[in-house]
Structure 1
Amino acid sequence: MPSLSRSELIRKLQDKTNDCLKEFIRPDEPLAILDFPDIKNCGDSAIWLGEIAYLKNRHGKIPSYVSRIEDFSESELKRVAPTGPIFIHGGGNFGDIWVSHQDFRERILDMFPDRQIIQFPQSIHYKSEQRILESARAIGRHKNFVLLVRDEESLHFSQKHFDCRVQLCPDMAFCIGEVTPDAPQFPVLAMLRQDKEQVGTVDYSIYPEIPKEDWITESRRKVRIAKALGAASALLRLRPSELAFRKLDAAAQNRFNRGIRQISRGRAIVTDRLHVHICSLLIGRPHAVLDNSYGKIQRFMNAFSGGTDLSYRATSLDDGVAWAKAQAAANQT
């Protein structure tokens, strides 16, 4: 099968996403999105911006209610969005690696038994059989939960363990569309995890010429300024729900812009982060892909994003670096 161009792949995945979601969004109903990712990881902000871009571009809507885990208000959600679907932010936290998100998700299922709840696309991973059973009970009690997943393994797992509608859907970040990168500053950039999903340890001193970074550090001051500016744009309306949305959306845009600036610096990239892979596709940069601790990236590429010459499935860090160096040399202008 011939490889797809970047534009063709992005359009294909956007259309697939719309096929999955369009039935849940109605022009005469409000909607809510919960578990806003107010964290340093740029990938989560890319997912959020894709969720909002999808709603705006395909349906001309923005959410009536948004919240982080820590400032969620049941009464406020019911006040501003008394009907309509409740969406939960997508990503890779469905399971028992990032337990606070799973605890919150299951609490929402119990809190709103009569509302349709749609999980934006997730990767599923559990280590504990007991936690699988707990999640299955929460989902089984609800009866109107829709679980969208980002890979075939998550699909089969969920169909086996959970009594709900499960559907394969691309990551929401593709709904951002193509992004113009900054000019590269050096041949190869290594964007590698520094959290609980990283695989082993590597002596990076053997690559002294290659910057090794992650994108989970940020300037708190710049994020606070972004939130303040976002809030200022909504002051005339004096609606708390609009104010919350503008603040959080501005923070996500700030983090995403930071991530794009960071990865743009490499003419070619080596990564074990799913959203460095996705954002590299959005900016059109060649990149070698390793994997995280439980195979999330390869699973996603098998389902959706592997059909382009921009990405290379590396067998090791050495293999990925060698490929990236060759791509950087070939693309040097």
Structure 2
Amino acid sequence: MNINHLLRQIAGKCRYLNRQLLICHYKRCLYQEVERNKGEKVVYLFSNPTHSNLGDQAQTVCILRWFATNFSQHKVICVPMDFATPKLLNLIETRLRSEDILFVHSGYLIYNQHPHLPFICEVVKRYKNNKIVIFPQTVLLTDKDVILRTQEAFNTHRNLILMCRDEVSLSNAQKLFTCRTLLFPDFVTSLIGNSEFAFGNKRADILFVLRNDGEKYYSDEELNNLKSKFTDLRIDTTDTTIQLGMSKWISHRDDIIKDYLECFSHYRLVITDRYHGAIFSQIVSTPTIVLSSADHKLSSGVKWFPKEQFTNYIAYANDLDEAYQLAICFLRQGEIPFNESKYFNENYWNKLYGMIMGINIV
């Protein structure tokens, strides 16, 4: 056996064992955290990520910020699926009070193969006496068995709110479920317009933020052909999935996300087929061209950005030829100011608490 191959195998097994040890440690800590709580009002967040997808982790940052603003009198307890033992779920059930509220993390969790969907269904079925809010989702279910199991959970809960992050998902949800639905943008849009992310860096070159999974629409050859047309500019390529240990995310999540956003602020233009690649770019006011993915997530998601506030900052390309033409237009417009528009907070996130709690907020 090749020695390098053997070393890689050993390193991989060591990483796996280290992750399992960490999971055992965090399971104990989480159980103790729930057990210690005797009288505080609690907000529970289920299915928050432990993996290294920057878009998912950025959603966690935004959700926790929103909790801090709107549920400052509540204790926040995060329950990742990896840490949620039956013993823990039973303990939560015995400790729940009427004023406790349960939330499910946002993302693309409601589709056929997602490993979190059965866990979400279990949460909804188990805790029927408390309000549950599922934060903005892309919804795409086609498997009949999965649909039936999800309907069994969702349609029997009398106080469930399902938030959808695009009109296609909303339509899909309303055809399948009887619970209350809300149309809301992705949670990371709550950072757009925040001067905390006006880094003031000098801009140069183009950044491609490209996925490499089943949601990819264009081939590497097609994308490389697009890159080759920009002969006078350096091209960098990255993704929103990185290699980083679980403990780093738990202890340094905010700093990691802010550092990554700062990186986006160095470029004149971003071209991406990652939805959060597009949102990250808008947070730091980097002009962005959005490419198609294999599903409706990008084509629907980009519709959230109204022309009045974002005409010089973001555009959707129907094909790669159009992407190149849009890129030339963006590059010719020169430096543009930081976009201070509070559109998403004023129209959505500042109003969400009242919509959930039944309070009119002007």
In structure 2, what is the Cα distance between the partners aligned to 1:157 and 1:319?
30
Please give the secondary structure, in 2, of the residue aligned with 1:141: coil
Please give the secondary structure, in 2, of the residue aligned with 1:285: coil
In structure 1, what is the Cα distance between the partners aligned to 2:325 and 2:91?
53
CA, structure 1 residues 257+101, in 2 after alignment: closer, same or farther (shift >3 Å)? same
> Does residue 87 in structure 1 map to residue 103 in structure 2?
yes
Deviation of 1:331 after TM superposition, in Å, equals 2.1
In structure 2, what is the Cα distance between the partners aligned to 1:192 and 1:182?
25
| Structure 1 gap segments, 5+ residues each | 1-27, 228-247
Task: Give the aligned partner of residue 69 of structure 1.
Answer: 81
Which of 171, 190, 215 is the aligned partner of 1:156?
Answer: 171
CA contact (8 A) 2:168 2:296 kept: no
Deviation of 1:319 after TM superposition, in Å, equals 2.6
CA contact (8 A) 2:240 2:276 kept: no
Task: Give the aligned partner of residue 211 of structure 1.
Answer: 236
Task: Give the aligned partner of residue 135 of structure 1.
Answer: 150
Deviation of 1:62 after TM superposition, in Å, equals 5.9
Task: Give the aligned partner of residue 257 of structure 2.
Answer: 256
Please give the secondary structure, in 1, of the residue aligned with 2:292: coil
What amino acid does structure 2 have at the position aligned with 1:145?
L
In structure 1, what is the Cα distance between the partners aligned to 2:187 and 2:163?
11
Q: Which deviates more, 159-168 or 180-189?
A: 180-189
> Does residue 38 in structure 1 map to residue 50 in structure 2?
yes
Deviation of 1:51 after TM superposition, in Å, equals 1.0
In structure 2, what is the Cα distance between the partners aligned to 1:253 and 1:76?
30
CA, structure 1 residues 62+43, in 2 after alignment: closer, same or farther (shift >3 Å)? farther
What amino acid does structure 1 have at the position aligned with 2:109?
N
CA, structure 1 residues 324+76, in 2 after alignment: closer, same or farther (shift >3 Å)? farther
| Structure 2 gap segments, 5+ residues each | 1-39, 229-233, 337-362
Deviation of 1:134 after TM superposition, in Å, equals 2.0
Q: Following superposition, which runs of at least 4 residues in structure 1 exceed 4 angstroms of deviation?
A: 78-81
Which of 307, 321, 324 is the aligned partner of 2:327?
Answer: 324
> Does residue 146 in structure 1 map to residue 164 in structure 2?
no
% identical equivalent positions: 20
In structure 2, what is the Cα distance between the partners aligned to 1:104 and 1:137?
13
CA, structure 1 residues 321+217, in 2 after alignment: closer, same or farther (shift >3 Å)? farther
In structure 1, what is the Cα distance between the partners aligned to 2:191 and 2:203?
25
In structure 2, what is the Cα distance between the partners aligned to 1:218 and 1:80?
36
Deviation of 1:36 after TM superposition, in Å, equals 1.2
Deviation of 1:123 after TM superposition, in Å, equals 1.1
What amino acid does structure 2 have at the position aligned with 1:91?
G
In structure 2, what is the Cα distance between the partners aligned to 1:106 and 1:219?
29
State how many pairs are aligned.
280
Q: How does 1:1-333 map to 2 (within 5 A)?
A: 29-61=41-73, 63-72=75-84, 73-78=88-93, 81-83=96-98, 84-97=100-113, 99-177=114-192, 178=194, 179-181=197-199, 183=201, 186-203=204-221, 204-206=223-225, 207-208=227-228, 209-220=234-245, 224=247, 226=248, 248=250, 250-302=251-303, 304-307=304-307, 308-309=310-311, 310-331=313-334
RMSD over aligned Cα, in angstroms?
2.5
Task: Give the aligned partner of residue 25 of structure 1.
Answer: none
In structure 1, what is the Cα distance between the partners aligned to 2:316 and 2:161?
32
In structure 2, what is the Cα distance between the partners aligned to 1:219 and 1:259?
13
In structure 1, what is the Cα distance between the partners aligned to 2:255 and 2:96?
27
In structure 2, what is the Cα distance between the partners aligned to 1:157 and 1:50?
26
Structure with higher RCO (Cα < 8 A, 6+ apart): 1
Please give the secondary structure, in 2, of the residue aligned with 1:196: coil
In structure 1, what is the Cα distance between the partners aligned to 2:214 and 2:75?
32
